[in-house]
């Protein structure tokens, strides 16, 4: 609304509008309830003000009334719960072909790695109309990725990946805030999400230098010697990583899990924790030898070894790639 | 009835029975211990309030120009820790509960008077350690101590603060233990469970939470301390630990803790509304069951503080669902209080004004809880000023007003004096206005997206922040007034007789102030609570 | 009856141990027993937090848990378990002695109970020392020998919980010994007999509870199987 005195946050995605709808419904409902109670109290307090000769009427209660004002609110609450749950489910289920942007949060800045190779600090450029999935981890303490204009927020944890996604519908610059207290400069850990029209976004992309993220990851893969054991045939001392991402993996101890980002990450940092069936626990740990950004690049590279390749922000949404369920990144 | 001016009550009572500091510091009289608590929590209220004022002053401008960032972070941390653990949790149970519980059930004292005194000493010990923490430079973890920030990334006095709260926690546990055993075993003949005043029920439900929940806080803080002191890695992701485990352990106590803070206040309101409507409470059984339901259900909803923390979608669904259930008994209580006023005979005394304020503000705070329990909304407003406004509406608009209402209501019983009624009404009004001006803008700030714990903020949030700070200064004035006139009344207030309000309840059948052992003879109870049908003719307010 | 309001009995001859705010000895006794039970529930909640952490991490990192358990000294743990069970026996016998008024026996049994308690702590201390010199203490210098790679990842977590859980248990043992010492002194002074022995009973409750915590800790820490997977 007003520039210097806004009363409603900017709305930059369709989802934001859906959240606002529930909020306005609740404002109306709760406003009505509150006013009803205030009016009743006001009326009773004045109408039944103490007067000489008028005695209070001793009313013990009414089971019917009690059950009514227990049951009716409960039903209304259940409706609110369902509505809120539907919204939440949607916000935690990124579409399958979302463009992926890796995020590393650290005291006190946001670092973004685009798949095309661009790196940004505290500024995040995204195109209008594209599903964007943030794959996020923290280098130190818990932070929280909060963009009020999209009505999304997700804590960013050390030691694992968490995910948030959005589709911007309106070009503009929007606040990015850290929303989990993280020390001295918590309130300075802010930035902007810059939403651009697709044409301008392409222009911005082409201005960037670096190699695409999977390419950078391949370079790390080679330079750290991973390819020595992780060969692309069956002769390697480590599993062939082609097509591994997103598929079930059988472990030495008999468990099966799905190879997601957290699994890849854990396998690099604590390789002995989950050894693939048929292999020995001989892989050395790279804890302390590889930065979060390098880890993100490696994860992007390994994902690229599975067909089809992960979505990039420059390409349009693929409407046929429907999401199958909420993202459940495995806890290490 | 005696006239005004300086008149010292001549009868022997618990205040004048013995003089000297030893008789106070070694007392086992629950009423004297209540006053010891009163002094302690009032002291900490003003310390916590001072930190709040500094916070609001800093937030007058978007830039961080009053305090350094680290100092500001300490301010909100210590404001929260002091207010929660050294004011709100003890306030009604340890002051009003200690004073009234035995009398209301017809007993001479609590079951364990010496443990009661120990409870106070524990609060003082914890308080001294907290004072040391503040003077030595404070802690800046936030009152929530989230790991790994608190365990591995701060070099402030985290362990001292944790230990201070740990010790105060045992004060709370022992008080709860005392209240449970007292309520079960020390009721006078004829005082069945169904005849107990709702204030007793509320404190009993609170005691259950204190006993079951606080030890989990104790172990959470201990594990943080062990992590800092001995480098245990229980919450360190680099060593396989999980930071979320801390959050689960912490909130397992800290959510029920908010019910520790509000339930006793609800008990106070039941006493006040019935007295000043001259009516029995509407739906006694439902009111009693509601406080028990809140205590039980309150243990099942803790992870609604963690919807964006990285828990699974399914866990979030369950906790959101359950959170709506805990809202229902609170709603029942609001409806019942309102219904109690229906066809009553209502007086606008100061306690009743606080009760009106409580019902209105608690309703608003409780309704905004519905917003927060809705998953889709919570994602947007959690960790913003929306949450800050929500819990301040309940704890300050609700709990503190109930506490003040209770202090005014029972002041004649506690001190033998009346407070000046006109000043009482004025202070209540100032507090109501100041409170709303302080905290209502924060709902708007929260939805706009202003995060909490922000030392500096984006300029478009300034107008609302200025309104909030203006309200805080008004609120401060409102809080100072009662302290001033209560002190004044101890010497110059009108002498009160046994039942100046014409209220029901055993406490009003004994002299003001009571004797050390409360009753000359053990009372035998034959009526229900709130027998206002028998007390109708007694005039109110003398 | 459990919760019925008490009947006043002002003409009852006052037991010198009757505190003024209780109507009679029965109310006093019931209250103090109830109070101790409520206190023990708080202790369950206190240890419960650590047990919860243990169970969660055990589920996630079983190989580390089994490996950590193997590093425990089976014989010290087993002997300590027997010691504590015996101490609970002597404590129970002490309570009975108090009930029947056998003062000398009461004092003797309380002293033996304390000796068992001290024995437990000494053995625990020897155990702790053994772990300490092998650097099996969490922190920068943490090190465990002969552990396979899969298990080594999270074995430090196991040790953190081992030290925390047994440490708090040992602290409660120490407090228990202190309380028993106090009761022993009062017993020797002849304070307890058939008319009044409630403090001995509730001390017994506390002692049995601390023993029970150990009964849970022992298999969870010392007896984790290698052959099972979870």
Domain boundaries, chain B: 28-535
What pLDDT shows up at residue A252? 86
Query: From the list A252, A253, A272, which residue is nearest C152 (CB)?
Result: A272
Q: How far apart are the CA of A126 and the nearest CA of chain C, in angstroms?
A: 38
pLDDT one-digit tens code per residue, B8-38: 556 899 999 999 999 999 999 999 999 999 9
Asked if A23 reaches chain B (Cβ–Cβ under 8 Å), the answer is yes
**A316 pLDDT exceeds 80?**
no
Chain A hits for C229, CB-CB cut-off 8 Å, are 253-254
pLDDT one-digit tens code per residue, C183-211: 999 999 999 999 999 999 999 999 999 99
Query: Which residue in chain C is spatially nearest to B245 when comparing CA positions?
Result: C53
Give the confidence band of A306 by pLDDT, cuts at 50, 70, 90: confident
Residue for token pair 């350094």: B68
**A313 pLDDT exceeds 90?**
no
Q: How far apart are the CA of B111 and the nearest CA of chain C, in angstroms?
A: 7
Residue ranges of domains in chain C: 25-222
Compute the average pLDDT of residues A21-28. Answer: 97
Query: Which residue in chain A is spatially nearest to C155 when comparing CA positions?
Result: A273
Q: Which fold has domain B28-535?
A: Cytochrome C Oxidase; Chain A (1.20.210)
What pLDDT shows up at residue B7? 52
| Contact present, B79 and B161 (Cβ < 8 Å) | no
Query: Is C150's CB within 8 Å of A252's CB?
Result: yes
Q: How far apart are the CA of A211 and the nearest CA of chain B, in angstroms?
A: 30
Query: Is C149's CB within 8 Å of A253's CB?
Result: no
Asked if B189 reaches chain C (Cβ–Cβ under 8 Å), the answer is yes
**C215 pLDDT exceeds 60?**
yes
| Contact present, B140 and B224 (Cβ < 8 Å) | no
pLDDT one-digit tens code per residue, B444-455: 999 999 999 999
The DSSP string of A119-175 is EEESEEEEETT-EEEEEEEESSS-EEEEEGGGTEEEEE-BTS-EEEEEEB-S-EEEE
From the list B403, B282, B396, B315, the residue with the least C-alpha distance to B351 is B403
Task: Tally C-beta pairs within 8 A across A and B.
Answer: 282
Compute the average pLDDT of residues B83-91. Answer: 97
Query: Is B458's CB within 8 Å of A65's CB?
Result: no
CA distance B89 to B176: 11
Q: How far apart are the CA of B293 and the nearest CA of chain C, in angstroms?
A: 20
DSSP letter at B506? G
What pLDDT shows up at residue A255? 86
ipTM, two decimals, is 0.93
CA distance B99 to B172: 16
Give the confidence band of B3 by pLDDT, cuts at 50, 70, 90: very low
Tokens representing A33? 């309830």
Give the confidence band of A5 by pLDDT, cuts at 50, 70, 90: confident
Query: Is C39's CB within 8 Å of B177's CB?
Result: yes
Give the confidence band of A323 by pLDDT, cuts at 50, 70, 90: very low
| Contact present, A138 and B309 (Cβ < 8 Å) | no
Query: Is A272's CB within 8 Å of C154's CB?
Result: no
Query: Which residue in chain C is spatially nearest to B112 when comparing CA positions?
Result: C32
Chain A hits for C61, CB-CB cut-off 8 Å, are 273
Asked if C63 reaches chain A (Cβ–Cβ under 8 Å), the answer is yes
What pLDDT shows up at residue B1? 44
Chain C hits for B187, CB-CB cut-off 8 Å, are 5-6
What pLDDT shows up at residue C225? 79
**A208 pLDDT exceeds 90?**
no
Give the confidence band of C150 by pLDDT, cuts at 50, 70, 90: confident
Query: Is C153's CB within 8 Å of A254's CB?
Result: no
**B2 pLDDT exceeds 60?**
no
What pLDDT shows up at residue C160? 94
Give the confidence band of B180 by pLDDT, cuts at 50, 70, 90: very high
Chain A hits for B73, CB-CB cut-off 8 Å, are 181, 183-184, 186
CATH code given to domain C25-222: 1.20.120.80
CA dihedral C129→C131→C136→C140, nearest 10 degrees, is: 10
Compute the average pLDDT of residues B83-98. Answer: 96
Task: Tally C-beta pairs within 8 A across B and C.
Answer: 135
Give the confidence band of B104 by pLDDT, cuts at 50, 70, 90: very high
Which residue, among B112, B169, B181, B213, would best test binding to C if mutated, counting the most C CBs under 10 Å from its CB?
B181
Query: From the list C148, C153, C229, which residue is nearest A273 (CB)?
Result: C153
Compute the average pLDDT of residues C29-55. Answer: 96
Give the confidence band of B233 by pLDDT, cuts at 50, 70, 90: confident
**C111 pLDDT exceeds 90?**
yes
What pLDDT shows up at residue A1? 41
CA distance A293 to B291: 52
Chain C hits for B231, CB-CB cut-off 8 Å, are 138-140
- Report how far apart, in Å, the C-alpha atoms of B176 and of each of A137, B90, B112, B117, C192 are: 42, 10, 11, 13, 29
Chain C hits for A281, CB-CB cut-off 8 Å, are 148-150
- Report how far apart, in Å, the C-alpha atoms of B448 and of each of A6, A150, A175, A176, C50 are: 8, 11, 11, 12, 40
Q: Which of residues 239-268 of B touch C (CB under 8 A)?
A: 239-242, 245, 249, 252
Asked if C140 reaches chain A (Cβ–Cβ under 8 Å), the answer is no
Dump strand ranges (E) for chain A: 99-106, 109-114, 119-121, 123-127, 131-138, 143-147, 152-156, 162-167, 172-178, 190-196, 248-250, 256-258
Query: Which one is predicted more confidently, B239 or B56?
Result: B56
Give, to the nearest 10 degrees, the angle between helix B313-341 and helix B350-373.
160
Residues in CB range of A305: below 8 A, 6 or more apart: A241, A242, A243, A244, A245
pTM exceeds cut of 0.90: yes
**C2 pLDDT exceeds 50?**
no
What pLDDT shows up at residue B451? 97
3-state secondary structure of A41: helix
Q: Which of residues 102-121 of B touch A (CB under 8 A)?
A: none
3-state secondary structure of B383: coil
CA distance B386 to B380: 10
CA distance B461 to B455: 13
What pLDDT shows up at residue B494? 94
Q: Rounded to 5 degrees, what are φ and ψ at C169?
A: -65, -45
Compute the average pLDDT of residues B454-481. Answer: 96
Tokens representing A304? 């690229």
Q: Which of residues 218-277 of B touch A (CB under 8 A)?
A: 237-238, 240, 242-244, 277
| Contact present, C192 and C95 (Cβ < 8 Å) | no
Residue for token pair 């055990």: C58
Give the confidence band of B244 by pLDDT, cuts at 50, 70, 90: very high
pLDDT one-digit tens code per residue, A130-160: 999 999 999 999 999 999 999 999 999 999 9
pLDDT one-digit tens code per residue, B411-446: 999 999 999 999 999 999 999 999 999 999 999 999
Q: How far apart are the CA of B249 and the nearest CA of chain A, in angstroms?
A: 17
Tokens representing B23? 């008789």
Give the confidence band of C139 by pLDDT, cuts at 50, 70, 90: confident
**B77 pLDDT exceeds 50?**
yes
Q: Where are the alpha helices (DSSP H) in C134-154?
A: 149-152
Query: From the list C2, C5, C140, which residue is nearest B190 (CB)?
Result: C5
Chain B hits for C5, CB-CB cut-off 8 Å, are 187-192, 525
Query: Is B240's CB within 8 Å of C38's CB?
Result: no
Give the confidence band of C174 by pLDDT, cuts at 50, 70, 90: very high
Worst-scoring range by mean pLDDT, A116-120, B104-108, B312-316? A116-120
Share of chain B above pLDDT 90, in %: 93
Chain B hits for A81, CB-CB cut-off 8 Å, are 320-321, 324, 373-374
| Contact present, A100 and A115 (Cβ < 8 Å) | yes
Q: Which CATH homologous superfamily contains domain A213-304?
A: Cytochrome c-like domain (1.10.760.10)
Query: Is B230's CB within 8 Å of C139's CB?
Result: yes
């Amino acid at each position: 609304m007003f520039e210097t005195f806004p009363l409603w946050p900017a709305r930059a995605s369709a989802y934001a509008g859906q959240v606002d709808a529930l909020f306005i419904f609740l404002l109306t409902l709760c406003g009505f309830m509150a006013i009803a109670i205030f009016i009743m109290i006001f009326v009773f307090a004045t109408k039944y003000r103490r007067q000489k000769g008028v005695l209070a009427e001793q009313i013990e209660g009414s089971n019917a009334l009690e059950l009514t004002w227990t049951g009716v609110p409960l039903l209304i609450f259940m409706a609110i719960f369902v509505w809120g749950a539907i919204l939440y489910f949607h916000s935690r289920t990124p579409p399958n072909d979302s463009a992926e942007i890796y995020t590393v949060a650290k005291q006190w800045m946001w670092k973004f790695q685009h798949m095309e190779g661009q790196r940004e600090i505290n500024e995040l450029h995204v195109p209008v109309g594209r599903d964007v999935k943030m794959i996020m981890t923290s280098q130190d303490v818990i932070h929280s990725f909060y963009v009020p204009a999209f009505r999304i927020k997700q804590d960013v944890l050390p030691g694992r990946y968490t995910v948030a996604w959005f589709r911007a519908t309106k070009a503009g610059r929007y606040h990015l805030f850290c929303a989990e207290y993280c020390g001295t400069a918590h309130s300075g850990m802010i930035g902007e999400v810059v939403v651009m029209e697709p044409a301008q976004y392409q222009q911005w992309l082409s201005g960037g230098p670096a190699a695409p993220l999977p390419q950078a990851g391949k370079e790390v893969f080679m330079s750290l010697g991973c390819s020595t054991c992780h060969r692309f045939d069956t002769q390697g001392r480590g599993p062939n990583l082609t097509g591994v991402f997103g598929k079930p993996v059988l472990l030495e101890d008999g468990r099966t899990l799905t190879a997601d980002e957290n699994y890849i990450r854990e396998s690099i940092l604590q390789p002995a924790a989950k050894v693939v069936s048929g292999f020995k626990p001989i892989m050395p740990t790279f804890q302390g030898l590889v930065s979060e950004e390098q880890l993100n690049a490696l994860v992007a590279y390994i994902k690229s070894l599975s067909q089809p390749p992960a979505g990039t922000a420059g390409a349009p949404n693929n409407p046929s790639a429907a999401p199958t369920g909420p993202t459940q990144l495995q806890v290490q | 009835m005696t006239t005004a001016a300086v008149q010292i009550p001549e009868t022997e009572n618990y205040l004048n029975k013995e003089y000297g500091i030893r008789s106070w510091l070694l007392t086992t009289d629950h009423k004297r211990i209540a006053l010891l608590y009163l002094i302690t929590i009032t002291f900490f209220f003003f310390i916590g309030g001072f930190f709040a004022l500094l916070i609001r002053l800093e937030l007058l401008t978007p830039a961080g120009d009053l305090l350094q960032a680290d100092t500001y972070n300490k301010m909100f941390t210590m404001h929260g820790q002091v207010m929660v653990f050294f004011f709100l949790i003890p306030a009604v149970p340890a002051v009003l509960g200690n004073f009234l519980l035995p009398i209301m059930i017809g007993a001479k004292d609590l079951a364990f008077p010496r443990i009661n005194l120990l409870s106070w000493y524990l609060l003082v010990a914890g308080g001294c350690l907290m004072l040391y923490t503040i003077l030595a430079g404070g802690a800046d973890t936030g009152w929530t101590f989230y790991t790994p920030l608190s365990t591995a990334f701060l070099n402030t006095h985290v362990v001292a603060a944790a230990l201070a709260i740990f010790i105060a926690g045992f004060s709370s546990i022992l008080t709860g233990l005392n209240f449970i055993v007292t309520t079960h075993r020390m009721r006078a003949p004829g005082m069945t469970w169904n005849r107990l005043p709702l204030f007793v029920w509320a404190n009993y439900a609170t005691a259950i939470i204190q006993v079951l929940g606080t030890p989990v806080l104790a172990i959470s803080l201990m594990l943080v301390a062990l992590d800092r002191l001995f480098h245990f890695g229980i919450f360190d992701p680099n060593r396989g630990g999980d930071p979320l485990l801390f959050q689960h352990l912490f909130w397992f106590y800290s959510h029920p803790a908010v019910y520790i803070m509000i339930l006793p206040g609800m008990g106070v309101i039941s006493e006040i509304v019935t007295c000043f409507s001259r009516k029995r409470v509407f739906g006694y059984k439902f009111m009693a069951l509601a406080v028990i339901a809140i205590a039980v259900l309150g243990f099942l909803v803790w992870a609604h503080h963690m919807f964006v923390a990285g828990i699974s979608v399914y866990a979030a669904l369950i906790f959101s669902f359950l959170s709506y259930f805990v809202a229902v008994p609170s709603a029942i209580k609001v409806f019942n209080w309102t219904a109690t006023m229906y066809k009553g005979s209502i007086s606008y005394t100061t306690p009743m004004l606080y009760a009106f304020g409580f019902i209105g503000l608690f309703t608003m705070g409780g309704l905004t809880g519905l917003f927060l329990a809705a998953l889709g909304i919570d994602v947007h407003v959690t960790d913003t000023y929306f949450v800050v406004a929500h819990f301040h509406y309940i704890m300050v608009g609700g709990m503190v007003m109930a506490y003040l209402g209770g202090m005014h209501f029972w002041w004649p019983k506690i001190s033998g004096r009346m407070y000046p009624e006109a000043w009482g009404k004025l202070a209540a009004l100032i507090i109501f206005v100041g409170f709303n001006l302080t905290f209502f803008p924060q709902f708007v700030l929260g939805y706009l997206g202003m995060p909490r714990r922000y030392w500096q903020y984006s300029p478009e949030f300034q107008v609302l922040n200025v309104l909030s700070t203006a309200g805080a200064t008004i609120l401060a004035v409102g809080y100072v007034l009662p302290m001033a006139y209560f002190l004044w009344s101890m010497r110059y207030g009108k002498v009160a007789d046994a039942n100046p309000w014409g209220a029901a309840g055993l406490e009003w059948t004994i002299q003001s102030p009571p004797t050390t052992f409360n009753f000359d003879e053990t009372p035998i109870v034959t009526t229900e609570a709130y027998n206002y049908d028998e007390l109708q003719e007694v005039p109110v307010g003398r | 009856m459990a919760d019925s309001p008490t009947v006043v009995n002002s003409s009852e001859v006052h037991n010198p141990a009757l505190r003024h705010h209780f109507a009679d000895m029965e109310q006093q006794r019931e209250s103090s027993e109830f109070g101790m039970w409520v206190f023990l529930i708080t202790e369950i909640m206190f240890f419960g937090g650590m047990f919860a952490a243990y169970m969660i991490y055990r589920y996630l990192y079983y190989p580390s848990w089994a490996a950590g358990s193997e590093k425990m000294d089976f014989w010290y743990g087993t002997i300590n378990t027997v010691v504590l069970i015996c101490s609970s026996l002597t404590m129970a016998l002490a309570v009975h002695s108090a009930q029947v008024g056998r003062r000398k026996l009461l004092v003797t049994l309380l002293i033996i109970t304390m000796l068992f308690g001290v024995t437990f702590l000494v053995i625990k201390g020897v155990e702790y020392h053994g772990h300490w010199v092998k650097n099996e203490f969490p922190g920068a210098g943490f090190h465990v020998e002969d552990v396979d790679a899969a298990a080594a990842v999270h074995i430090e977590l196991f040790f953190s919980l081992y030290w925390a859980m047994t440490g708090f248990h040992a602290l409660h043992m120490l407090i228990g010994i202190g309380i028993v010492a106090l009761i022993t002194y009062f017993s020797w002074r002849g304070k307890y007999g058939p008319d009044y022995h409630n403090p001995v009973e509730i001390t017994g409750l506390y002692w049995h509870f601390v023993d029970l915590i150990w009964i849970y800790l022992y298999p969870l820490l010392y007896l984790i199987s290698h052959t099972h997977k979870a």
